[in-house]
Amino acid sequence: MFAFLFLAPVALVCAGYVLVTYLLLRLTAWSGLQALTIAIGVISVGLMIYSIGQTVIGCAAEPVYTPPACANANLCGEGMMTFPCDGPGGLLSYGFSYLFGPLAALLSAILTIRTVRRLRRPSIEA
């Protein structure tokens, strides 16, 4: 339950991304420029896929070893391994890269296809 509440900001950001994509697609469709509409849709989906890829690559990086701070030669503690995408920030990263990012890319692609089809449909004027 807590994880879903924690992922709410990621869901809102992705919903905002889809909303901005929708508004840009509608604006270019209203102007009648089909090539620009297709370009904006492809760029929107490509940017989301690129962001997902960068997040997955960043989370798959090697952990960083931090050596112990020795106050005395005989009293050295243990070192620490810091893993990327560990902790609450990692939950946000994984939630974006595996759940909300692909959903936003899919919705952007569907909006692009529907907008382009609507532009190709002949308008009937009396």
Q: Domains of the chain: which residue ranges?
A: 9-82+94-120
pLDDT of residue 73: 64
pLDDT of residue 40: 95
Residue 122 falls in which region: left (phi positive, over 0), alpha (psi -120 to 50) or beta: beta
Q: Which residues on neighbouring strands pair with residue 32, listed in sequence order?
A: none
Q: pTM of the predicted model, to two decimals?
A: 0.80
Report the percent of the chain where pLDDT is more than 70: 89
pLDDT band at 113; cut points 50, 70, 90: very high
The residue that leads in pLDDT, 109 or 4, is 109
pLDDT band at 72; cut points 50, 70, 90: low
Residue 86 falls in which region: left (phi positive, over 0), alpha (psi -120 to 50) or beta: beta
31: tokens are: 């102007």
Q: Are 111 and 25 in contact (CB under 8 A)?
A: yes
Residue bearing tokens 């209203």: 30
Q: Is the pLDDT of residue 126 over 60?
A: no
Q: Is the pLDDT of residue 16 over 90?
A: yes
